[in-house]
Structure 1
Amino acid sequence: MAEITASMVKELRERTDAPMMECKRALTEAGGDLGKAEEILRVKLGSKASKAASRITAEGVVAIQRTSDDQFGAIVEINCETDFVAKNDDFLRLASDCAGLVLCENPPDVAVLSGLPLGDGTVESTRTALVGKIGENMSIRRFVRVAATGRLAFYVHGGAKIGVLVDYTGGDDQLGKDLAMHIAAAKPRALDASGIDAELIDSERRIAAEKAREANKPEAMIDKIVEGSVQKFLNEVTLLGQVFVKAEDGKQTIAQLLKSKGASIAGFTLFVVGEGLAKRSNDFAAEVAAQAAAAVQR
């Protein structure tokens, strides 16, 4: 059996918000497998055990540019080390310029984008100069250029921490704005169930079955309970299944909203700054000691 280390317990706790001892027991039961341990905790503790897995850690901004006819759009995420730099005018300008270049030049990847002309140099030379000026690393993480099948609506929220482009047909400008705002707030993983990984659905099915058995539900009812749980999960994570955040009755789904407006959605792009990245974590005492040592050296 793999050794259960303090760092493993800490990581599982950060993923799940579960008590330390529960994390250790789950890791022991899972033989040190973090993924299995998380599933064990979800069975024992419910959905709370996965809420911390999507915490946003890295800093930066999302920038969006689009054409005046709403037919083409670009969304870019640029990361930095601190929130302070994420508010710097030069950093924000770089993000906006990069989005504009993606829109106009349609580069295939970050390497090509970095080599495109910008100002007196290139995107990369501009980035390098800004790193030298500010003294903090920054990087272009990802971008998407969208050619609409209908028209594009966009939304940027929370100090440019969340950005959305949505391609829709029918309805009016307000519908497009409402859809983009909903996506930013509800953060769907896909448009519908076909966009959800089959392994994730199978995992939800296993978890639901284990929870039903632990609750001593009759075996004859378990299949029905499991399918109900899976459908509830899919409604929560797919755009069309989600309840519209502005629904007056608190029940209208996005699919129902679109039907009432004679509209449809071809797709959407959602960027949340730092999603899936780990923030640099400094030991406070060590940081103070390092600053004191640097002051002495000066």
Structure 2
Amino acid sequence: MANITAADVNKLRQTTGAGMMDCKKALVEADGDFEKAIEILRKKGQKVAANRADRDSSEGAAIAKVNEDQTSGVIISLNCETDFVAKNESFVTLANELADIALGFKSKDDFLAADYKGMTVQEKLTEQTGVIGEKIEIGGFETLSAPFVGYYIHAGNKIAVLTGLSAKVDGTEEAAKDVSMQVAAMNPVALNQEGVDQSVIDKEIEIAKDQLRQEGKPEAMLDNIAKGKLNRFFKDNTLVNQDFIKDSKQSVAQYVKSIDSKLEVTGFKRVALG
């Protein structure tokens, strides 16, 4: 039987993130073979993952990152089952490490197949499921490109937002953060009315007409009044038309133009937990 030292156990723990006792047991089972011990821990993770596949993983950490020249960004959410795990420092550290990797990818599948310290991201998630004992997975995955991309992460890592602007000028960074905070708080359905899905528009018109009928309005008047209500829906629910949360006397579009007359919001992405 191999002599398992504290240094061996610590090395395996540093490599895998598994607990001290789990590492010691794996090394004993592997008769001191380091690579075999890693495989044992991974298999344990696979078994736990299979047992917890139907669990709800609505807690976690939503992390936004942008590249060095601030023209591209990504949001991922590393999901788990409990708030206790979500607040753990090592869990948040892992979420940030994975977000750094995700910056190089445009699809979730390619990201999950990417390398993480000698294993794939998906293998790391499975391993951590075994280590932590909770379902660990990537929930949200969103990317955004623009002449300038800024971001905002709400306190506690519960909401992360990317905002794209049409140019990089003085004040752009602050403007992108302000607009991202707007998106986090107000959760718009689209950038502008052109971006609202027709099915949503049809539903809003129908709701408005039903309300008007219940109020006893004549059928001949319904279309015009419903259109007015629809315009109100666009104002309240599309980003550039919303009242700016820091100054309700101007819209988001007007706020952005106060930074530079030609500046526009080109897009946004939002990932929220829960």
- TM-score, normalised to structure 1, is 0.67
Deviation at 1:260, TM superposition (A): 2.9
Q: Is the 8 A contact 2:161 2:271 kept in 1?
A: yes
Deviates more, 1:158-167 or 1:260-269: 260-269
Deviation at 1:212, TM superposition (A): 0.7
Kindly provide the amino acid, as one letter, of the partner of residue 70 in structure 1.
Q
Deviation at 1:171, TM superposition (A): 5.5
Once residues 63 and 137 of structure 2 are traced to their aligned partners in structure 1, the CA distance between those partners, rounded to angstroms, is 14
Deviation at 1:99, TM superposition (A): 1.1
Q: Which runs of 5+ in 1 are unaligned?
A: 1-56, 275-298
Tell me the alpha carbon deviations over residues 79-108 of structure 1, each in whole angstroms, 9 at most, x when there is no partner. Answer: 11111111122322222122111113x153
Q: Does 1:127 align with 2:125?
A: yes
Deviation at 1:206, TM superposition (A): 0.9
Mapping 1:1-298, distance limit 5 Å? 58-104=58-104, 106=105, 108-110=107-109, 112-148=110-146, 150-168=147-165, 169=167, 170=169, 172=171, 173-247=173-247, 250-261=248-259, 262=261, 263-274=263-274
Tell me the alpha carbon deviations over residues 24-56 of structure 1, each in whole angstroms, 9 at most, x when there is no partner. Answer: xxxxxxxxxxxxxxxxxxxxxxxxxxxxxxxxx
SS of 1:223's partner is helix
**Distance change in 2, residues 1:84/1:146 (3 Å):** same
Q: CA RMSD in A?
A: 1.8
**Distance change in 2, residues 1:139/1:167 (3 Å):** same
Once residues 134 and 153 of structure 1 are traced to their aligned partners in structure 2, the CA distance between those partners, rounded to angstroms, is 33
Once residues 142 and 95 of structure 2 are traced to their aligned partners in structure 1, the CA distance between those partners, rounded to angstroms, is 13
SS of 1:240's partner is helix
> Which residue pairs with 1:29 in the alignment?
none
Between the two proteins, the alignment pairs up a number of residues equal to: 213
Tell me the alpha carbon deviations over residues 64-93 of structure 1, each in whole angstroms, 9 at most, x when there is no partner. Answer: 222232122221112111111111223222
> Which residue pairs with 1:282 in the alignment?
none
Kindly provide the amino acid, as one letter, of the partner of residue 133 in structure 1.
V
Deviation at 1:235, TM superposition (A): 1.3
Q: Is the 8 A contact 2:144 2:268 kept in 1?
A: no
Deviates more, 1:182-191 or 1:163-172: 163-172
Once residues 151 and 102 of structure 2 are traced to their aligned partners in structure 1, the CA distance between those partners, rounded to angstroms, is 16
Identity, % of aligned positions? 36
Deviation at 1:185, TM superposition (A): 0.9
Q: Is the 8 A contact 2:149 2:164 kept in 1?
A: yes
Deviation at 1:220, TM superposition (A): 4.2
Deviation at 1:142, TM superposition (A): 3.0
Deviation at 1:202, TM superposition (A): 0.7
SS of 2:157's partner is coil
Q: Is the 8 A contact 1:102 1:145 kept in 2?
A: no
Once residues 190 and 106 of structure 2 are traced to their aligned partners in structure 1, the CA distance between those partners, rounded to angstroms, is 25
Q: Which runs of 5+ in 2 are unaligned?
A: 1-56
